Amino acid sequence: MSKQNKEPKTENFRLSLVNDINHKTLWVTRFTRNGLFIRIFSATLLVLVLAFCIFAFTPLRTFIPGYPDSSTRHAAITNAIRLDSLERQVKEWEFYSANLRKVFEGEDPIRIDSLVRQHEPDSAIVAKASEVSANDSLLSEDIKASEQKAMMAGAPRSLPIEGKHFFTPLKGVVSQGFDAVLHPCVEVSAPANSVVMATLDGTVIYAGWSDMGAYTVVIQHDDDIISVYGHNQKLLCSTGDKVKAGTPVALIGNNGTVENGDNLRFELWYKGEAEDPVKYINF
């Protein structure tokens, strides 16, 4: 007798939905064991894809714990700006202290052009070398002469504006530059509620509402230097206060009367004449 080859038997299943009262079939589906696994896998994958799309491309993603929202990103940008400003100030103070120590010890100060030499073309270095050297020599002689006079007279040392170390009042972007006739100041844009700080030690001679439609702070410094901080929405000092360099004096912000947004109007005056702050301050 010849053996017959038996084909594997396929198990079929049926799932029905029946009315319990009249036993009428409402819905029925047939499937195999493998078909059931495929359907379950496909349905699970579809649910996962839909959930990913909903949370990735809709505002619902902000409800995920730990997901950064707009306020978090704004705070991160603000902190990055402040950190960059602090790092710059620390480097400037280190450079200033090293130069001051060399001058007191009778050594030659560090030349500024040597620090930026690698960022300038050779032609620019050659063109500026003699001018920078002459200016450094004149400034060094002026500082030494002022120190000798102060030591002999017992009076505080007086430095020209070029010898001052200015604290950056606000870290931001210069949106409008200086013009001695039409615009004797610079406009520095930064996030709202950014802290405005005094650029030098001095006395607040005015703190209040100005004709420009915003709160303004005016500080008198030594050596006939005056700094003006305008377009503020809140004051942190009063007239007559003694402030140090880096002391918070105001908060910038659009108070509804300044058309060009959140910015600081910064003026620097030396012996009655407006000076370009960008020459002495890195914003």
- The whole-number pLDDT of residue 196 equals 95
Strands 202-209 and 195-197 come out as: unpaired
CATH class of the domain at 166-279? mainly beta
Calpha distance 246→244 (Å, rounded): 6
Q: Indicate the domain borders of the chain.
A: 12-62, 73-162, 166-279
- The whole-number pLDDT of residue 75 equals 77
- The whole-number pLDDT of residue 157 equals 55
DSSP of 102-155: HHHTTPPPPPHHHHSGGGS-HHHHHHHHHHHHHHHHHHHHHHHHHHHHHHHHTP
Span 238-249, pLDDT tens digits: 999 999 999 999
Calpha distance 94→72 (Å, rounded): 33
Which stretches of 29-69 are DSSP H helices?
33-57
Residue 58 structure tokens: 């809709």
Amino acid identity at 225: I
Q: What is the dihedral of CA 134, 140, 142, 146, to 10 degrees?
A: 180
- The whole-number pLDDT of residue 103 equals 77
Cβ-proximal residues to 212 (8 Å cutoff; 6+ apart), any chain = 230, 231, 258, 265
Calpha distance 25→17 (Å, rounded): 6
DSSP state of 179: B
pTM of structure: 0.46
| Per-block mean pLDDT, blocks of 10 residues, the chain (283 long) | 56 83 84 85 92 79 66 75 84 82 76 53 52 62 66 59 90 90 90 92 93 86 93 92 94 68 90 92 89
Phi, psi of 31 (to 5 degrees): -160, 165
- The whole-number pLDDT of residue 131 equals 61
Residue 106 structure tokens: 């009778």
